[in-house]
Chains A and B, each alone.
Chain A
Amino acid sequence: MSNEKLKTITKILGAVLVFLAIMMLPSLAISIYNKEGQCVNAFLIVALACAIFGMAGYKFIPAKANKLKNRDGFLVVSLTWIIASLIGALPFVISGAVPSFIDAWFESVSGFTTTGATVIRDVEVLPMSILFWRSLTQWIGGLGIILLITAFLPSFGMTGQIIGIAETTGPTKEKQTSRFADTAKSLCKMYSLFTVAEFIALKLCKMSWFDSAIHTLSSISTGGFSNYNDNVGHFDSPLIYTVLFIFMIIAAANINLLFKPKRVLKYEETKFFLFLLFVGGLLVSVFNFIKGADTSFITGFFQVGSVLSTTGFVASDFNLWPSFCQFILLSMYFVGSCQDSSGTGLKPIRALVGLKLIKRSFKLKIHPNRIYRLTLDGSEIGNDVVIRITNYIFAYIGMIILGTFLLSFSDLGFTKTFTACLACLGNVGPGLDFTGYWIFTGYSKAVCMFLMLLGRLEIYTVLALFSRHYWNSNRI
């Protein structure tokens, strides 16, 4: 790691700090407005400290941004997310809302990675400013920290492109515009537009100002935090469920949908995603209806959409559902939301290519020497892309096995352990057979945090940092 690179990285991290300081201002305003003494102090201290250190880092180090290579992006992005989550945890601790540091850090990681898993047993007693900050972290993480910074700081452009790639999810990365900064800006515009639209829609459904804000930030980022202990089940209103459902799906669909809807709707991935959503929702609703577990039709669809989009809102207690419905939900945990969206998970496109590989292998069994091409959206998928996709699928399965193994030390039973691992790696949030992550020990919480970061940064970006090959570029 050369000196030049170190400087550039410090500069970027400085920008991240400044950005976080700016993002804390709304919470600061809320805390002042509500006269939440401790919280005012907390946000003021953290924001000021971030601003000072960040400016120092950003301003005083001369810019030589182009020194970075693609692979340096992994380090920068991983560092960015770890530091952001650490700083995001500080207001929780300093304000005394979440006294234990590991709990606060968990909450912050879960926010930034848009997981929405919580360790706070009673969220309703938390101060409003803290609740708002908790939801805002998801909003930031939903689009990506680096992406947001690139949108706000135009001079960041070139570096942004290099490291932004390490942050976005999905196997094929499509650019909307030729310049990354422009892409970031237009994405940001869309994101904000939909945030405002959902906010207004929820307000029209007779939610309070604060509730609408919190749930807007949670759903448009596919996060899943709520300010009620029983999550969105608190509202128990089909109208609100429908609005949230629509915006969750929009957030989980390919964001290019908004630029060129006709083309994206024809994507096989989008079709597959909608197919899963429809069939899963239908099966769950019908089966719940037959078994009399949950007679409201909308909650079945809502829950499937919530898991498939990796949001993780809980509208009805699915621990009471019949086993079959739970398994439908579990298989949705695997898939996740479309590429180029604010959701994460394995992505339908990868699952689809996996299915196509299976299909091809059957044909090959009959005609071993014939050559079958894999096609997606009418054109052939490159061999390189297929290899990358299969690598990722098995890395994902490997991480599920590893994660479950590490979590099983807590001795909490099969279902809890396995679903917690799935929920964290897929950035969904709630698992089955337990209501919150407070049942886990500090060690297990740390494992969960690691899994969430792995899931959000697409595994290899984080894993690369543990590889010898990464640190020694000449080694093969």
Chain B
Amino acid sequence: MKESAKLTFKILGTLALIEGSFMVPCVFAAVYYEEYDCAKPFFTCSLLAICFGLVIKGLTKTGHKNVLTRESYLIVILSWLFCILLGMMPLYCSGQDYTFMTSLFESVSAFTTTGCTAINLDIVPKAILLWRSISNWLGGMGILVLLIAIFPMWGISNQSIANAEMPGAKLEKVEASYSTIGKFLYRAYLTFTAIQFVLLYLGPMDAFTALITSFSVISTSGVTITADSAFMFESGYVKAIITAFAFLSSLNYVTFFMMIRGKFKGAFKNIELKIYCMIILVSTLFVTLVLRITGEYQSIIKAFEDAICQVVAFNSTLGFAFTDYTRWPMVCMFVLCFLMICGGCTFSTSGSLKVIRITVLFKVIKRGLMRHIHPNIINAIVVENRAIPAKIVSGIISFSLLFFGMYIILCLLLSFSGYDIETVMTTTLGMLSNTGLAMGIPGTSGSFSMFSGFSKGVMSFAMIAGRLEMYALLILFSKSFWKPNRR
């Protein structure tokens, strides 16, 4: 057996072990809430996964080995697909007559931290609700692992520009400190979850809802409100907590790392952070004013409250619908759509293009203007008084072109469903950016259940592509991946 295949199996085994053990709470929940239909599939899946994991772990022994780039791509894709497929099994077998595509869609939306749904949440067993939010949480963790350990190796993530100005945290080079930062990440992730749970529990929420909400907020997924818990989200306190934590979890985790180390100056000097805060502030004020002036809201305070919640929900790609934003004026909806393209900061669980890329793209447009005026000028892209190497700029440009290109293709595929332009375009954007919100028909109904199996497949593809920063999934479709030696 090849060394890399062994490694792949080992990783898959470990993942099965983790996922299987996280299914155990769901078994208990099912028993506690007397949902015996669900308890069985959860129990079986969990048992199988744990056994599989243990067996693999016992059988494979791998030495230290350098993985080739191509193999690492394959391993990442396989791991995600494996997790998603394993995660959909309890849903598919739960006796709730979910079709295969629906269960897949649910699982993908959970693990990619998109958080949209195609099932009727009012009659869903509590165990499944819990499993969805646990997979949200695991997915968020998974993406953090990718961001810190794997994407830099492939040159996808742009943390080198986002963080280069941070003294002390030279993430590009320090392999030794990977584990330090890695450990810190999990601790921060856990701590945030715990704090949020406690805060929500102190408010008007029961333990179960508080748990589900904090799992899905910290991973910027955004659960859809079930009918019997909707009143809890009416309270200003809960809204404030959710918005604050959504904002925090869409920030660069390195910022927190720096703060823990006491380097406040460096942490706040980060340009991405500044621009991100600016975007949120400006759009909130703008939306508030529009809502008040158009008479949509009678009180400016209420308008501000809903505006800031919804703006953060879109910009952090949380995807939580606090109010019926589809009834807002068109210009507000458009601002929200733009925020979806924007996304949060690098190195966070938020999806989409990310603020730093938007910044660079804006500078690219400006550079074009300068070149037009002075045709012979040679000007680099400058962020924070530092010229960005041409290679990185070119990487960001290709990534963004790919993002928009994929967007067009996915829109075309989704339009087979026959829904109107608004529905198709915003749904695709919501999926690709891992926000999970849309305007049009799914916006008003809050559910994507009306789409056919094929469309759900397309949407799942969009979610995974968006979550894995495009390349990690799409590289499977490139010739050079399968024939590395051809030019």
Whether A368 pairs with B338 at a CB distance below 8 angstroms is no
Q: Which of A363, A388, A405, A460 contacts B338 (CB 8 A)?
A: A405
Contact with B along A342-365 (1 / 0, CB 8 A): 000000000000110111111111
Chain A residues positioned under 8 Å from B402 (CB to CB): 358, 361
B355 vs chain A, min Cβ distance (A): 15
- Whether a CB of chain A sits under 8 angstroms from the CB of B398 is yes
Using known A-B contacts A327-B412, A334-B408, A391-B365, determine if residue A358 contacts B401 with beta carbons closer than 8 Å.
Answer: yes
- Distance in angstroms from A166 CB to nearest chain B CB is 9
One of A19-27, A94-102, A266-274, A414-422 at the interface: A414-422
Assembly CA distance A412 to B331 (angstroms): 10
Are B471 and A327 in contact, with the CB atoms below 8 A?
no
Task: Determine whether the beta carbon of B371 is less than 8 Å from that of A388.
Answer: yes
A404 part of interface (Cβ distance < 8 Å): yes
C-alpha spacing A376/B338, complex, angstroms: 34
| Complex interface: chain B residues within 8 A of A443 (CB) | none
Given A362-B475, A415-B421, also A460-B155 (CB < 8 A): no
Given A401-B338, A405-B331, verify A322-B418 contact (CB < 8 Å).
yes
Asked if A328 is at the interface (CB within 8 A of a chain B CB), the reply is yes
Question: Do A464 and B330 touch across chains, with their CB atoms under 8 A apart?
Answer: no
Q: Which of B368, B374, B397, B422 has the most CB of A within 10 A?
A: B368
B-chain residues with CB within 8 Å of residue A354 when the two chains form the complex: 401, 405
Which partner residue on chain A sits nearest B484 by CB separation? Answer: A366
Identify which of residues 397-445 in chain B touch chain A, using a CB-to-CB cut-off of 8 Å. Answer: 397-402, 404-405, 408, 411-412, 415-422, 424-426, 439-440
Query: Given A361-B398, A388-B371, A392-B368, A411 and B330 touching (CB < 8 A)?
Result: yes
A461 CB-CB contact with B under 8 Å: yes
A203 within 8 A of B: no
Residue A387 contacts which of B156, B371, B373 (CB distance < 8 angstroms)? B371
A68 located at the interface, meaning its Cβ lies under 8 Å from any Cβ of chain B in the complex: no
B481:A366 contact, CB within 8 angstroms = yes
The answer, among B330, B372, B411, for a CB contact under 8 Å with A408, is B330
Nearest CB in chain A: distance from B135 CB, A: 28
Residue of B nearest to A463 (CB): B369
Which residues of the other chain, A, contact B155 by a CB distance below 8 angstroms? 364-365, 368
User: Is A413 among interface residues, defined by CB-CB distance under 8 A?
Assistant: yes
User: Measured between C-beta atoms, what is the minimum distance from B421 to chain A in Å?
Assistant: 4
Residues of A within 8 A of B362 (CB): 398
On chain A, the residues within 8 Å of B331 by CB distance are: 405, 408-409, 411
State how many angstroms separate the Cβ of B4 from the closest Cβ of chain A. Answer: 15
Chain A residue with minimal CB distance to B294? A411
Residues of A within 8 A of B416 (CB): 323-324
Q: Of residues 58 to 107 in B, which have CB atoms within 8 Å of A's CB atoms?
A: 69-70, 73
User: A467 and B369 in contact (CB under 8 A), knowing A357-B398, A362-B480, A366-B480?
Assistant: yes
Contact flags A382-415 to B (C-beta < 8 A → 1, else 0) = 0000011011111101100100110011111111
Chain B residues whose C-beta falls within 8 Å of the C-beta of A172 in the assembled complex: none
Per-position binary interface string of chain A over residues 429-443, scored 1 when its CB falls under 8 Å from any chain B CB and 0 otherwise: 000110000000000
Residues of A near B156 (CB, < 8 A) are 365
A419 to B421, CA, bound (A): 10
Please provide the chain B residues from 323 to 369 with a CB less than 8 Å away from any CB of chain A in the complex.
Answer: 329-331, 333-335, 338, 361-362, 364-365, 367-369
Contact A360 B398 (CB under 8 A): yes
**A155 touches B (CB below 8 Å):** no
**Which chain B residues lie closer than 8 Å to A357 at the CB level?**
394, 397-398, 401
Whether the pair B373, A414 counts as a contact (CB closer than 8 A) is: no
- A161: min CB distance to chain B, Å: 15
| A327/B421 contact (C-beta < 8 A), A71-B373, A363-B480, A460-B369 known | yes
In the bound complex, what is the Cα–Cα distance between A237 and B421 (angstroms)?
30
Mark each residue of chain B from 459 to 470: 1 if its CB lies under 8 Å from any CB of chain A, else 0: 000000000000
A367 touches B484 (CB 8 A): yes
Q: Which residue of B lies closest to A396 (CB)?
A: B365
Are A390 and B420 in contact (CB-based, < 8 A)?
no
Does A330 interact with chain B (Cβ within 8 Å)?
Answer: yes
Q: Does B395 contact A (CB under 8 A)?
A: yes
Q: Which residues from B are CB-within-8-Å of A359?
A: 478
Residues of B within 8 A of A404 (CB): 334
Complex: chain A residue closest to B68, CB-CB: A366
Kindly provide the distance from the CB of A311 to the nearest chain B CB, expressed in whole angstroms. 22
Q: Say whether B375 faces chain A, with CB atoms less than 8 Å apart.
A: yes
* A322 / chain B contacts, CB cutoff of 8 Å: 418
B240 at the interface (CB under 8 A from A): no
Question: Is the CB–CB distance between B408 and A331 below 8 Å?
Answer: yes
Please name all residues of chain A whose beta carbon is closer than 8 Å to the beta carbon of B418 when the two chains form the complex. Answer: 322-324
Contact yes or no, A365 B69, CB < 8 A: yes
Q: Which listed residue (A327, A391, A408) contacts B364, Cβ 8 A?
A: A391
Across the interface, which residues of B come within 8 angstroms of A364, CB to CB? 155, 395
Known A411-B329, A411-B330, A433-B421: A324·B368 in contact at CB below 8 Å: no
A470: CB under 8 A from chain B? yes
Contacts of A295 in B (CB 8 A): none
Q: How far is the CB of B358 from chain A (nearest CB, A)?
A: 10
A179 at interface, CB cutoff 8 A: no
Distance, CA A368 to CA B372, complexed state (A):
31
B470 to chain A, nearest CB (A): 10
Given A398-B365, A409-B331, A464-B369; A365-B338 close (CB under 8 Å): no
Interface flag for A192 (CB, 8 Å): no
B370 is an interface residue with CB less than 8 A from chain A: yes
Determine if B421 and A432 form an interchain contact, defined as CB atoms under 8 angstroms apart.
yes
Q: CB distance A366 to B338 under 8 Å? A: no
Residue in B73, B368, B395 whose CB lies within 8 Å of A460: B368
For residue A64, CB closer than 8 A to chain B, the reply is: no
**A361 with B154: CB separation less than 8 A:** no
Determine the chain B residues whose CB is within 8 A of the CB of A121 once the complex forms.
none
Contact B421 A414 (CB under 8 A): yes
Residues of B with C-beta under 8 A to A234: none
Q: In the complex, are the beta carbons of A366 and B373 less than 8 A apart? A: no
Indicate whether B474 reaches chain A with its CB closer than 8 angstroms.
yes
A393 to B484, CA, bound (A): 30
Q: Indicate if the CB atoms of A323 and B480 lie closer than 8 Å.
A: no
A326 interface residue (CB < 8 Å to B): yes
Per the bound structure, the CA–CA distance linking A432 and B70 in Å amounts to 44
Contact A365 B471 (CB under 8 A): yes
Do B365 and A395 touch (CB < 8 A)? yes
Is A34 in contact with chain B by the CB < 8 A criterion?
no
Q: A324-B415, A324-B416, A464-B373 known; A394 and B364 CB under 8 Å? A: yes
Residues of B within 8 A of A414 (CB): 330, 333-334, 421-422, 425-426, 439-440
| Smallest beta-carbon distance B487→chain A, Å | 8
A258–B484 alpha-carbon span in the complex (Å): 43
Q: How far is the CA of A88 from the CA of B373 in the complex (A)?
A: 29
How many angstroms from the CA of A445 to the CA of B347 in the assembled complex?
Answer: 43
User: Are A362 and B334 also in contact (CB < 8 A) when A387-B371, A413-B422, A467-B373 are?
Assistant: no
User: Which of A367, A391, A408, A415 is B371 in contact with, Cβ under 8 Å?
Assistant: A391
- A365 & B475 in contact (Cβ 8 Å cutoff): yes
Taking the complex as formed, is A59 at the interface, i.e. its CB lies under 8 A from any CB of chain B?
no
Contacts of A323 in B (CB 8 A): 415-421, 424
The answer to whether B399 and A361 touch across the interface, beta carbons within 8 angstroms, is yes
A418 to B439, CA, bound (A): 14
- CB contacts (< 8 Å) of A388 on chain B: these are 368, 371
Nearest residue (CB) in B for A283 is: B412
Contact of B412 among A324, A366, A393, A470 (CB under 8 A): A324
In angstroms, Cα B369 to Cα A368, docked, is: 30
How near does chain B come to A37, taking the closest CB pair, in angstroms?
A: 44
Ranked 10 nearest A-B pairs via Cβ: A391-B368, A361-B398, A414-B422, A460-B372, A362-B478, A327-B415, A323-B415, A408-B334, A408-B331, A408-B330
12 of the cross-chain contacts (CB-CB < 8 Å) are A327-B424, A331-B408, A364-B155, A365-B475, A401-B338, A408-B330, A408-B333, A410-B330, A414-B426, A415-B420, A463-B372, A476-B377
**With A394-B368, A469-B373 given, can you name 8 additional A-B contacts, CB distance below 8 Å?**
A361-B399, A404-B334, A405-B338, A408-B334, A413-B422, A414-B330, A464-B373, A469-B370
